[in-house]
Amino acid sequence: MILELDCGNSFIKWRVISVDGAQRLFAGVVDSDAALFESLAAAPELRVSRCRLVSVRSDAETEQLVTRLRESLGVDAICAQSASQVGGVRNGYEDFRRLGLDRWLAVLGAYHLGQRACLVVDLGTAVTADFISADGMHQGGFICPGLPLMRDQLSTHTRRIRYDRQVALAALQELEPGRSTAEAVERGCVLMLRGFVAEQLLQAQARFPEGFEVFLTGGDAGLVQDVVPGAQVVPDLVFVGLAIACPLN
């Protein structure tokens, strides 16, 4: 079994696939290393022989996780590294090492699945958009705060924006103008995300007149899905790229 990990700024997405990659055996989302090892311990008949991961966390945090994986599962995790080119895809950053590794893998995954020009939007702690031309050139992208950062900034920097999490979830049942603080903030922030995605779509239309594929991923992809009716929502997009960047044979 192969253990795959996508360590974002807020959550670790993990999954266990069969060695031939054909089956997804276990999967989960956890908010800490400790919770990851609890989940793995609870997976019945787990036999991990290989492990690969991508992390946008600090080197120290990533090394700590790799050490713990070695101690508890006996596997040496392979970590995705920056590259100026993988297969037919070229990194468009001035310094390719600066492009977030999750973005790079999502770009690799999208181009592999789409086989033509692509727009990739990843909605997590931050929201990122990346453009790839039909011939595999990553053209750069945009970064803005994601939903959790937007709402946290509002509550941190105001005196009277306060509401609890349960109310927040209920507020997102619809997007009419809010009649409470929770509704006004939650819906306002979701509209920011949707507006951002709509703008990326316009940019892609101008950039790729011959046509393009749109990929949405990240924990909040569902909130913007209907802004781009033809979009493919691929929660595992980073893992698709991880398999390309870190082949195990």
Ligand X SMILES: Nc1ncnc2c1ncn2[C@@H]1O[C@H](COP(=O)(O)OP(=O)(O)O)[C@@H](O)[C@H]1O
Ligand Y SMILES: CC(C)(COP(=O)(O)O)[C@@H](O)C(=O)NCCC(=O)O
Catalytic residues: 102
With CB under 5 to 8 Å by kind, the binding choice for 143 among ligand X, ligand Y, K ion, none is ligand Y
Query: Does residue 100 belong to the site contacting K ion (CB under 5 A)?
Result: no
Name the residue nearer to ligand Y (CB basis): 102 or 213.
Answer: 102
Question: Cβ distance 228 to 123 under 8 Å?
Answer: no
Of positions 8, 92, 114, 241, contacts ligand Y by CB under 6 A: 8
Q: Does 241 bind ligand Y (CB under 6 A)?
A: no
Helices (H), 17-125: 33-42, 59-73, 101-114
Q: Does residue 219 touch K ion according to CB under 5 A?
A: no
Joined tokens for residue 236: 């595992």
What is the bridge-based pairing of β-strands 78-79 and 50-55? parallel
DSSP string, 11-29: -EEEEEE-TTS--EEEEEE
Angle in degrees, 0-180, between the axes of helices 59-73 and 33-42, rounded to the nearest 10: 20
Q: Min. distance of Cβ 237 from ligand X in angstroms?
A: 10
Residue 13 interacts with ligand Y (CB under 6 A): yes or no = no
Q: Which residues in the 52-91 window bind ligand X by CB under 6 A?
A: none
In contact, 149 and 128? CB cutoff 8 Å? no
Question: Pick from K ion, ligand X, ligand Y, none: which does 236 bind, CB < 5 to 8 A by kind?
Answer: none
Question: Which residue numbers belong to the known binding site?
Answer: 6-13, 93, 100-103, 122, 125, 181
Question: Which residue numbers belong to the known binding site for K(+)?
Answer: 122
Question: Which residue numbers belong to the known binding site for ATP?
Answer: 6-13, 125
